[in-house]
Structure 1
Amino acid sequence: MNEAKQWTVTVDIDEHDGRTRATARLHTRDARPLTAVGTARLNPADRDVPEIGDELATARALSRLAHTLLDVAADDIEGLTATPPTRLHL
């Protein structure tokens, strides 16, 4: 039986001057995690609801992280086959 693998994602969120920044890190067995950043800013005409900024910035960071992981997989495929993959989709 194969050993189960576990990857974890951590998201750190901070706010400064109406801007929210989320940093998502994917931790695998590799030495260095993949990292992506997402941001959101408060429209001055909108009511300040910090949770919404957190959600938007985190969603953007996770989306970028997913695309980064897809790029890594494409590079790995190309490294093994010496040809770029035709198409990889999320």
Structure 2
Amino acid sequence: MIASRQWSVEIFIDEHEDERTTHAEARLHTNDETHLVGRGTARRNPKDSDIAEIGDELAAARALSALAHELLHAAASDIEQLTHEHTRLHS
């Protein structure tokens, strides 16, 4: 029998016009107690066009990248708890 699971990632994006920054937070929800968060920021140069979608994309990509690193760290920690040996996983 094939076991299937569903995980979900929510991405929350906040734009701060006064600072010309966009902040994103990617939250992973799994079927167990694993709830990881990755955060990313994009900054707009004052000379750049004000196109919100680009800041959203950059901040979200950086948040997802940070989330991926958190997930690798969680997996390595889980392996270390089972094997009692140092584990280093590469992305």
The alignment's TM-score, normalised by the length of structure 2, stands at 0.91
RMSD of aligned alpha carbons? 1.1
Letter in 2 for 1:89: H
- Deviation per residue, 1:28-55 (Å, 9 max, x gap): 0123510111000110111111000000
What residue ranges of structure 2 are gaps of 5+ in the alignment?
none
Letter in 2 for 1:7: W
Pairs aligned (count): 89
TM-score using structure 1 length: 0.92
Deviation at 1:3, TM superposition (A): 2.9
Match of 2:74 in 1: 72
* Map of 2:89 onto structure 1: 88
Q: Distance in 2 between matches of 1:31 and 1:64?
A: 19
Q: Which runs of 4+ in 1 moved over 3 A?
A: none
Distance in 1 of aligned mates of 2:50 and 2:86: 46
For the residue of structure 2 that corresponds to 1:43, the secondary structure is coil
- After superposition, the C-alpha distances for 1:39-83 in whole angstroms (9 at most, x for unaligned) are 001101111110000000000000000000000001011110000
**% identity of equivalent residues:** 60
